[in-house]
Amino acid sequence: MDDESRQRFFKNKRQEGEGLGFSTECVHGGEEESREHASVEYPIYQTATYYFDNTQDLWDYYHKKSSRLSEYGRYGNPTIKVLEKKLALLEGAEEALVFPSGMAAFTTALLFVCQTGDHIILTNDGYRGIHKFCDKYLARFGITHEYVPFELGEIEKKIKPTTRLLFSEFPSNPRLRVLPLREVAMLCRQKQVFFFLDATFATPYNCSPLKYGVDLVLHSLTKYLGGHNDLLGGALLGKKELLEQLRLFQGLLGSILEPHTAYLLLRSLKSFALRMKTINESAEKIAIFLANHPKIERVWYPRLPSHPDYLVAKEYLKGGGGIVSFEVKGSLDEATRLVDNLYIPRIAASLGGTESLVHVVTAMSYHDLSPEQRKAMGVADNMVRLAVGLEDSEDLIRDLSQALEKV
Ligand SMILES: Cc1ncc(COP(=O)(O)O)c(C=O)c1O
C-alpha cells in the first residue's frame, strides 16, 4: 500500500465514529506518516536544534508561514510529537504534552493553573511525592491546600470562593480509592473549580476520564505506559487550547523529555494493551487469593466487592489495574516477614513494569512519619503494596503462599 492511501485510510477510520481498536492505535497511532528511508519504526531525532536554509525561512517560521515543527529542542521534537499524538489517541484527548517525569507534569500543571491567593483541594489517599510537594512548597507561592476524604459531599463542603483546583488520583495510592468522575466533574463545573486527575493507576486502557468532564489528566509514564521499569516520564492530556498554553509554559520552564526516552515509550506502547490485559487479570486473581487467605486481614482492590468504592470502580474501570494493597494479620513485623520471604517480586518503589515489585507501605513512602501520623492518615503498619508485573499469576500466587506460611 502506498503511503498516501494508507494515511487516508487511518484518517477516515478515525473520522468515521467506528474508529480503530485500542491495540491498533497502540501500534500505529500517531505513526502513520511516511518515513525517510522507508524505515518501519519511527526514528529518534536526537537533536537540540534545527537549521534554516536562509533568514527568510526563519521569518516565515515565526510568522507561521511554514509547517516546520520547531526552531529549538525545548519547543518541539518530531519523535516527541509522534509520542504525544499516540498518547492523545489512546486517551481520547485533543492533545498530549510529555515531560521528563510524572512529578514534572504535576508541578508544571499546578503552577500554571494556580496563582497566589488560590486554594486547592487534594483527596487524602495519594502518592506521597505529590503530597510532600504541596506540604513543603505551596505556601511559598501563597497557595493554600487541604486534604479531603473520597466523598462528593466532603469535597463540596471544602470548596470556597478561592478554591481553584481539585486534585485526585484514580485509583489512589495505596488504597485504590476512586471518585465518581461524572458527579465530581459536574460539581467542579458548577463551582468553577479546575478538576485535575492523576489517572496513572487506571491508565487509558482501564478508563478515559476526559469523557466524564475532567479538565486535565496526568500520567506518570514511568509506570504502565513505559511498562518496563527502565525510564521516567510524565504526560498531561486534555483540550487543545489548554495544552497549547501549557506547552509554552513548559518550554520556558525547560522541563523536556529526551527524544531517546520518547522512542523507548513509543516502543513500549506497542504492547501496552497486551500488558494491561494480562496485568488486570493476574492482579484480580491475586487479590481473590489474598482475600481468601486466613493470614490476610484486608485486601484493597477495586474489583473486590469488599472495597469501599467497588460500585464506582465497576462503573468507571474496565479492570482493577496492577496494584493489590493488603493488610497482613498482625503488625509491621508480620508484613515485613511476608515481604522479605518473597522470591519473585523485588522490594522496590514504582509499579506498572514487567517485573512485579513489592514493599511494606510504611517502610517505603511513610518512613518519615510517626506511628500516630501514619494512623491519622489511615496507613496501617501491616499494609503491603504489591505491583503485579507480567510473571505468571500462578507463580506469584505460589510465591505469596509460601511466604505467608513463614509469617
Ligand atoms: C500515582 C502517581 N502519580 C505520580 C507519580 C510521580 O511520577 P514520577 O515518578 O514519574 O515522577 C507517581 C510515582 O510513583 C505515582 O505513583
Taking Cα atoms as reference points, which of 340, 342, 350 lies closest to residue 389?
350
Shortest-distance Cα residue to atom 6 of ligand 1: 102
pLDDT digits (tens, 9 = 90+) for 94-140: 999 999 999 999 999 999 999 999 999 999 999 999 999 999 999 99
Q: Is the CB of 103 under 6 A from ligand 1?
A: yes
Domain ranges of the chain: 77-270, 272-405
Residue 383 — left, alpha, or beta (φ > 0 → left; ψ -120 to 50 → alpha)? beta
**Which uninterrupted H or E stretch holds 218?**
strand 216-220
Shortest-distance Cα residue to atom 16 of ligand 1: 127
Taking Cα atoms as reference points, which of 363, 368, 356, 370 lies closest to residue 400?
356
pLDDT digits (tens, 9 = 90+) for 321-363: 999 999 999 999 999 999 999 999 999 999 999 999 999 999 9
Question: What is the per-residue pLDDT for 379?
Answer: 87
Q: Is the CB of 173 under 6 A from ligand 1?
A: yes
User: How many percent of the chain have pLDDT more than 70?
Assistant: 100
> 272-405 architecture in CATH?
Alpha-Beta Complex (3.90)
**Over 90: is that where the pLDDT of 374 sits?**
no
Residue 334 Cα to ligand 1 midpoint, Å, equals 27
Instruction: Give the span between the Cα atoms of 364 and 325, in whole angstroms.
Output: 13
Same topology, domains 77-270 and 272-405? Answer is no
Question: Does the domain at residues 77-270 carry the CATH identifier 3.30.565.10?
Answer: no
AA letter at 320:
G
Task: Pick from 98, 103, 108, 351 the residue to mutate for probing ligand 1's pocket: most ligand atoms within 8 Å of its CB.
Answer: 103
Shortest-distance Cα residue to atom 9 of ligand 1: 102
The predicted model scores a pTM of 0.97
Note the helical H segments in 138-180.
Answer: 152-158
Shortest-distance Cα residue to atom 2 of ligand 1: 127
Note the helical H segments in 70-116.
Answer: 78-91, 102-113
**Over 90: is that where the pLDDT of 377 sits?**
no
Question: What is the per-residue pLDDT for 261?
Answer: 98
